[in-house]
């Protein structure tokens, strides 16, 4: 196993009535890690904490050994895909994807080649001049993924990436996620409440009521020995 | 066939609408019909042209300065974590709810103080000077401008700036490339509204600079002076000019904030 790219150690975070309670996990380089749990179990808050959006009440989130919330946002080199994609509505798909390149002073031929290469990989070449409001959900998501990957981040965080997609588009996205790991060499953490989707990951962390109940390999999710709460959530009968 | 019963609440609302329309409509009709008649002669007067020019010039300058101050203040209120945000907002709300004549009185005291006199000696007179008109309009409009711009900024999803940041954008770049373009239409509309309000400002201006013919005479001041001399037709002609300017600014505002159909899948 590679060295951890990101490690969460005893992370405790209160947001109103909700408490993320002493969560510890680590994600290795080029690993795909899934966080699965019921609605309101704290999956998104954990993912946002891993991106450094929240300062922990106690514990820490280390990214390449540095507390992530101390790294300026524009120097984290993380790709984050919100559930609602958050494409810039005033820019075309091409401008959305190329936005990060401009900020890294990559222009001209080199920028165009990178944008076109991603557009071909994600099959969005025909929608590149369109604004986000004119794209379907699946197209928006692939544009958002291309935008997140254009700066070649070391870590890609995906919040419920499959939730709003039809079955066919979902299947395509499964392949895309696996392709991203090999093609871009980045670690991927995604949040889901679907057992099948969690099975795509190398390892899965089960989060219920703000507590991480265990981490198993993707294949062992349904056959590991769990406590009653997790069995109930996973629908495992004794 | 059974007739549908009309909701009494809806009837009450329609009655209120009719009363409002009768009241406001009558006010507008008086200005339009009597104002138009007196307008040709009124427009030939040097006083009117002076008042019109001074009003447009002072409203434009004060609105620009208002926005120069309001935009960074609003950004701070909308996006930066402030420990005393409540206190800052309370001060702004309070200024907004004060009668303009009180604001004008405060300005008069402020600029009549030794500091104000020093400012005047340094070449920037305020009291009884045209500069005072701009200051009065600025102070009256600033809390409104801050409120409008803050609301515009809060209307933009903060996650978009976070995404831009993760892609490498500094805070300044997030502001100029994401927040500003996405709130542009609302900001232009707010500017037009502020300009329109500055054009009609009278209370604070009266206290600070008075109304002197051909010196500190804005369009509202011109109406005041004409009514004082019982020249009602000229007053209504000036009122009509203000009405035209307000209508044009409202039309500009509506045109700017029209739905941008290009960006909608369902256009």
Identify which of A71, A78, A36, A70 has the alpha carbon closest to the alpha carbon of residue A187.
A78
Distances (CA, A) of A46 to A177, A189, A191, A202, B267: 20, 11, 9, 18, 38
| Residue B243 falls inside a structural domain | yes
**Could you identify the residue written with the tokens 């039809």?**
A166
A73, A90, A148: residue with CB nearest B165: A73
Mutate to test the interface with B, among A63, A76, A90, A155 (most CBs of B within 10 A): A90
Phi, psi of A193 (to 5 degrees): -120, 15
Instruction: Determine the Cα–Cα distance for residues A54 and A45; give it in Å rounded to an integer.
Output: 8
Q: Which residue positions in chain B have pLDDT lower than 50? A: 261-267
B64 touches chain A (CB under 8 A): no
Residue B1 confidence (pLDDT): 59
Contact at CB, A78 and B263, closer than 8 angstroms: no
Q: Pull the structure tokens for residue A148.
A: 């997140």
Q: Which residues of A touch B (CB under 8 A)?
A: 51, 53, 73-76, 78-80, 82, 84, 86, 88-90, 99-100, 103-104, 131-136, 147-148, 150-151
Test B162 with A131 for CB contact under 8 angstroms. no
Mutate to test the interface with A, among B163, B173, B183 (most CBs of A within 10 A): B163
Give me the domain span that covers residue B88: 8-257
Contact A99, A88 (CB under 8 A): yes
Which pLDDT belongs to residue A142?
Answer: 92
Taking CA atoms, B265 is separated from A124, B260, B261, in Å, by 16, 11, 8
Which whole-number Å values give the CA distances from B65 to A19, A79, A100, B76, B148, in the listed order? 46, 39, 34, 17, 15
| Domain assignment present for B264 | no
CA-based max dimension of chain B: 83
Is position B2 within any domain?
A: no
Tokens found for residue B113: 């103080």
Number of domains in chain B: 1
* Partner residue opposite A89 with nearest CB, options B164, B169, B182: B182
Burial bucket for residue A115 (CB in 10 Å: 0-12, 13-18, 19+): buried
Contact list, A150 vs chain B (CB under 8 Å): 167
| pLDDT at position B259 | 58
Q: Which of B168, B182, B264 sits opposite A74 (nearest CB)?
A: B168
Separation CA A162–CA B70 (nearest Å): 42
Please state the pTM of the whole predicted model.
0.86
Q: Residue B261: what pLDDT?
A: 43
Please report the ipTM that was assigned to this predicted complex: 0.90
What contacts 24+ positions apart, CB below 8 Å, involve B49-53? B50/B214, B50/B217, B51/B217, B51/B218, B51/B219, B51/B221, B51/B222, B51/B238, B52/B219, B52/B241
Whether B15 is in a domain gets the answer: yes
> What does each C-alpha distance from B92 to A218, B70, B95, B187 come to in angstroms?
55, 11, 5, 19
> What pLDDT score does A232 carry?
86
The CATH number for B224's domain is 1.10.3720.10
Q: What is the pLDDT of residue B264?
A: 42
Mean pLDDT by 10 residues, chain A (238 residues): 84 92 94 92 94 94 94 92 94 97 93 94 94 93 94 93 81 86 91 88 93 90 84 80
Residue B1 lies in a domain: no
Structural domain contains residue B266: no
CATH architecture of the domain covering A1-77+155-238: 3-Layer(aba) Sandwich (3.40)
**3-state per-residue secondary structure call for A19-45:** EEEEEEEEEECCCEEEEECCCCCCHHH
In this complex, is the C-beta atom of B39 within 8 Å of any C-beta atom belonging to chain A? no
CB A186 within 8 A of CB A27: no
The verdict on residue B40 lying in a domain is yes
Contact A52, A63 (CB under 8 A): yes
Strands (E) located in chain A: 4-15, 18-28, 32-36, 58-63, 66-67, 78-81, 155-159, 187-192, 203-208, 211-217
Query: Are the Cβ atoms of B263 and A76 closer than 8 angstroms?
Result: no
CA angle A121, B266, A122 (to 5 degrees): 5
Which residue, A142, A127, A146, A144, is CA-closest to A184? A146
Name chain A contacts of B262, Cβ cutoff 8 Å: 131
Residues 6+ apart with CB under 8 A from A24: A8, A9, A10, A11, A59, A212
Partner residue facing B157 (CB), from A78, A86, A151:
A86
Quote the pLDDT of residue B156: 96
- What is the distance between the alpha carbons of residues B175 and B78, in angstroms, rounded to a whole number? 12
Q: Is residue B39 part of a domain?
A: yes
CA distance B55 to chain A (A): 36
Which residues on B lie below 8 Å from A134 (Cβ)? 263-265
Going from the C-alpha of A86 to that of each of A83, A91, A148, A174, A231, the distances in angstroms are 8, 12, 11, 21, 35
CB contacts of A100 in chain B (<8 Å) are 167-168
Which residue of chain A has the CA closest to B169? A74
Contact A131, A155 (CB under 8 A): no
- Contact present, A9 and A60 (Cβ < 8 Å): yes
Find tokens 């294949």 and name the residue. A219
Q: How many residues does the structure list for chain B?
A: 267
pLDDT of B266 reads: 38
Distance, in Å, from the CA atom of B89 to the CA atom of B109, rounded to the nearest integer, reads 24
Please list the alpha-helical segments (H only) found in B44-129.
46-79, 85-97, 100-112, 114-121
* Token code pair at residue A193: 């409440």
Bridge partners (DSSP) listed for residue A80 = A157
Asked if the Cβ–Cβ distance from A100 to B168 is below 8 Å, we say: yes
Cβ of residue B262 closer than 8 Å to a chain A Cβ: yes
Q: In terms of C-beta distances under 8 Å and separation of at least 24 residues, what long-range contacts does B50-53 make, across chains too?
A: B50/B214, B50/B217, B51/B217, B51/B218, B51/B219, B51/B221, B51/B222, B51/B238, B52/B219, B52/B241
B169 contacts A103? CB cut-off 8 A:
yes
Number of A/B CB contacts below 8 angstroms equals 64
Q: Could you give the residue range(s) of every CATH 3.40.50.300 domain in chain A?
A: 1-77+155-238
């Amino acid at each position: 196993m590679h060295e951890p790219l990101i490690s969460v150690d005893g992370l405790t975070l209160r947001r109103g009535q909700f408490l993320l309670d002493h969560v510890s996990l680590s994600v290795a380089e080029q690993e795909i890690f899934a966080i699965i749990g019921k609605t309101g179990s704290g999956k998104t808050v954990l993912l946002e904490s891993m991106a450094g959006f929240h300062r922990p009440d106690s514990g820490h989130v280390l990214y390449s050994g540095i507390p992530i919330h101390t790294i300026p946002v524009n120097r984290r080199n993380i790709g984050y895909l919100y559930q609602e994609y958050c494409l810039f509505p005033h820019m075309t798909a091409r401008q959305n994807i190329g936005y990060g390149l401009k900020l890294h002073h990559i222009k001209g031929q080199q920028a165009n080649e990178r944008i076109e290469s991603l557009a071909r990989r994600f099959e969005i070449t025909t929608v590149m001049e369109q604004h986000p409001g004119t794209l379907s959900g699946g197209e928006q998501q692939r544009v958002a993924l291309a935008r997140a990957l254009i700066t070649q981040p070391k870590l890609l965080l995906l919040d419920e990436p499959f939730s709003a997609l039809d079955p066919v588009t979902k299947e395509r996205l499964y392949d895309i996620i696996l392709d991203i790991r090999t093609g871009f060499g980045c670690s991927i953490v995604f949040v889901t409440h679907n057992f099948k989707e969690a099975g795509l990951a190398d390892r899965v962390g089960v989060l219920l009521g703000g507590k991480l109940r265990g981490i198993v390999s993707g294949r062992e999710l349904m056959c590991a020995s769990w406590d009653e709460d997790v069995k109930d959530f996973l629908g495992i009968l004794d | 066939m059974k007739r549908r019963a009309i909701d009494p609440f809806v009837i009450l609302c329609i009655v209120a609408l009719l009363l409002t329309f009768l009241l406001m409509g009558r006010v507008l009709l008086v200005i339009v019909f009597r104002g138009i008649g007196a307008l040709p002669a009124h427009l030939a007067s040097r006083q009117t042209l002076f008042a019109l020019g001074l009003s447009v010039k002072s409203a434009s300058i004060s609105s620009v300065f208002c926005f120069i101050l309001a935009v960074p203040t609003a950004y701070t209120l909308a996006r930066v974590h402030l420990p005393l945000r409540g206190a800052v907002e309370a001060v702004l709300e309070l200024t907004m709810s004060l009668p303009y004549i009180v604001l004008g009185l405060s300005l008069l005291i402020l600029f009549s103080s030794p500091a104000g006199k020093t400012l005047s000696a340094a070449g920037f007179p305020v009291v009884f000077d045209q500069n005072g008109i701009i200051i009065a309009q600025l102070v009256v409009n600033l809390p409104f401008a801050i409120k409008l711009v803050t609301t515009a900024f809060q209307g933009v999803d903060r996650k978009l700036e976070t995404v831009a940041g993760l892609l490498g954008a500094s805070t300044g770049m997030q502001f100029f490339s994401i927040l500003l373009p996405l709130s542009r239409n609302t900001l232009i509309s707010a500017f037009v509204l502020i300009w329109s309000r500055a054009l009609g400002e009278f209370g604070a201006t009266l206290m600070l600079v008075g109304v002197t013919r051909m010196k500190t005479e804005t369009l509202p001041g011109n109406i005041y002076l004409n009514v004082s001399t019982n020249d009602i037709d000229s007053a209504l002609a000036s009122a009509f000019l203000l009405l035209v300017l307000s209508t044009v600014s409202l039309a500009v505002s509506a045109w700017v904030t029209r739905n941008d159909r290009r960006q909608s899948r369902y256009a």
